[in-house]
């Protein structure tokens, strides 16, 4: 079973969609298997991170944006905006695909783990993620 | 088939568990398929790296710890210890999930590849990894 | 179904093999499922990136090579050449495995996404990638 889900984003940062993903797993009736994700964009990415304290996400965003600043004279790929080339680099450094085992009908995440869409553009509407559920 | 395996770690660095994973594949009887892993923590990660010369792992650890130092004034997420926020960033830059094809009952790794748990905390006991084996 | 495919590389940079991968999916007859990849090397890696404008790939390569330069006095793993330890670090920062859903017999990539082998050595011939197709 494959579905394309849409995750609402906005400005740069991490957007959790664990509940949306878990709802899809429950709807499918899958008890044990694998949930695989691909974000269909190259200016946003996927990550599994702590979902307890929001300060961790803020620091992740600020640290990565400092490592990959805009207006770096190295960039030649500039016609899609100042945030475009940094977005591609950030996507390459984080994840475009993830695979999460499913146990007893639930994503086998650790206690404090959430699944996030990491928006690297200043402004986006939503992002499309292809999700495969298999046995 | 999904199992949670425990990998012994300790101080910061890379801990190989290829043999433990390969033993699980053999026990399962799976001849051809996919072995998918998720580390259930956000302060340790997964990587596939050279298992021939230990100096490569030492350099990996030292390079990453220099890129993501402790006590960076950027961090606001500090109450879980000085190694906590660097650990989250290091996890985001490396891998939380991996998918390894299985051929003729063996992980289809390259000749010099090993599967590692990368510990980002100064001191940990063990780490839990959810492993899915499928056809 | 698992196959080892060979991707031609050369000097440092990104080499697209989406068409080669898509041909394997078509040949298999798989209509819906998952295509999982493992590159069997630790001095090259995998990434999904924009395939529209070549300048994005050039910037990715230049940015990563500036972040991970050769001849860093930190390196102790030096006997396999000046490009060897940077290659391991670059592989750790990008991806060694990928999982791509398949829909209606096609890789469910976004409109502008291509699948790339990222060569981190100055000179290589080809790289082996284990590809698993499953339902």
Cβ–Cβ gap A132/C55 under 8 Å = no
Residues 6+ apart with CB under 8 A from A17: A5, A7, A115, A116, A117, A129
- Minimal Cβ distance to C32: which of A2, A42, A88: A2
Residue A26, Cβ density class (10 Å: 0-12 exposed, 13-18 middle, ≥19 buried): exposed
Q: Where are the beta strands (DSSP E) in B9-56?
A: 13-16, 33-39, 44-50
Return phi, psi of residue B95, to 5°.
Answer: -130, 140
CATH number, span C2-134: 2.60.120.460
Interface check for C36 against chain B (CB to CB < 8 A): the answer is yes
* Neighbour-count burial for A115-133, b at 16+ CB within 10 Å, e otherwise: bbbbbbbeebeebbbbbbb
Q: If residue B19 lies in a helix (H) or strand (E), which one and from where to where?
A: helix B18-28
Distance CA B132, CA C7 (A): 28
Q: How confident is the model at residue C44 (pLDDT cuts 50, 70, 90)?
A: very high
Distance CA B32, CA B13 (A): 32
Mean of the pLDDT values across residues B10-23? 98
Average pLDDT, whole number, for chain B? Answer: 97
Q: How confident is the model at residue C64 (pLDDT cuts 50, 70, 90)?
A: very high
∠ at Cα C37 (C27, A4), nearest 5°? 80
Interface test with C, best of B25, B44, B99, B104 (most C CBs within 10 A): B99
State the pLDDT at residue A72: 98
Do A92 and C63 contact (CB within 8 A), yes or no? no
Q: Where are the beta strands (DSSP E) in chain A?
A: 2-8, 13-16, 33-39, 44-50, 97-103, 106-107, 113-119, 126-134
Rounded to the nearest angstrom, the gap between the alpha carbon of residue B102 and the centroid of all alpha carbons in its chain is 18
Which among A108, A3, A1, A89 is positioned nearest to A48, based on CA atoms? A108
Counted across chains A and B, CB pairs separated by less than 8 A come out at 99
Contacts within 8 Å (CB) and 24+ apart, B50-55: B50/B112, B50/B113, B50/B114, B50/C42, B50/C88, B51/B16, B51/B18, B51/B112, B51/B113, B51/B114, B52/B112, B53/C77, B55/C76, B55/C77
Kindly indicate whether the ipTM for this predicted assembly is greater than 0.90, answering yes or no. yes
State the pLDDT at residue C89: 98
State the pLDDT at residue A133: 98
Which among C9, C119, C67 is positioned nearest to B93, based on CA atoms? C67
Interface check for B56 against chain C (CB to CB < 8 A): the answer is yes
The sheet carrying C113-119 orders its strands as C13-16, C113-119, C44-50
- Residues B27-80 pLDDT 10s: 999 999 999 999 999 999 999 999 999 999 999 999 999 999 999 999 999 989
Q: Measure B106 CA to nearest chain C CA, in Å.
A: 12
- Minimal Cβ distance to A99: which of B76, B88, B99: B99
- Minimal Cβ distance to A92: which of C49, C53, C55: C49
State the pLDDT at residue A120: 98
Residue C94: count of CB within 10 angstroms of its CB: 25
User: In this complex, which chains have at least 3 CB pairs below 8 Å with chain C?
Assistant: A, B
State the pLDDT at residue B133: 98
Q: Which residues of C touch B95 (CB under 8 A)?
A: 95-97
Q: Which residues of A touch B88 (CB under 8 A)?
A: 49-50, 56, 59-60
Secondary structure class of A71 (helix, strand, coil): coil
Cβ–Cβ gap B38/A100 under 8 Å = yes
- Strand-pairing partners, residue B130, are B4, B38
Distance CA A78, CA A119 (A): 18
For B60, name the nearest residue in chain C, comparing CA atoms only. Answer: C89
Interface check for B78 against chain C (CB to CB < 8 A): the answer is no
Average pLDDT for consecutive 10-residue bins of chain A (135 residues)?
97 98 98 98 97 95 98 95 97 98 98 98 97 96
Q: Which residues of B touch C30 (CB under 8 A)?
A: none
Which among A135, A130, A90 is positioned nearest to A5, based on CA atoms? A130
- Minimal Cβ distance to B66: which of C2, C39, C74: C74
Cβ–Cβ gap B77/A47 under 8 Å = no
Q: How confident is the model at residue B114 (pLDDT cuts 50, 70, 90)?
A: very high
Interface check for C2 against chain B (CB to CB < 8 A): the answer is yes
Give the sign of the dihedral formed by CA B114, CA B132, CA C97, CA C39.
Answer: positive
Interface check for A92 against chain C (CB to CB < 8 A): the answer is yes
Do A4 and A130 contact (CB within 8 A), yes or no? yes
């Amino acid at each position: 079973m494959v579905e394309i889900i849409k995750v609402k984003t906005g400005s740069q940062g991490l957007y959790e969609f664990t509940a949306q993903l878990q709802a899809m797993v429950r709807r499918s009736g899958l008890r044990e298997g694998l949930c695989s994700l691909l974000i269909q964009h190259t200016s946003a990415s996927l990550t599994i991170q702590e979902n307890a304290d929001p300060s961790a996400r803020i620091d992740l965003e600020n640290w990565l944006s400092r490592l990959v600043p805009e207006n770096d004279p190295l960039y030649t790929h500039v016609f899609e905006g100042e945030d475009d080339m940094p977005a591609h680099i950030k996507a390459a450094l984080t994840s475009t695909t993830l695979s999460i085992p499913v146990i007893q009908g639930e994503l086998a995440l650790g206690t404090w783990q959430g699944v996030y869409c990491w928006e690297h553009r200043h402004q986006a509407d939503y992002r499309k993620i292809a999700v495969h559920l298999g046995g």
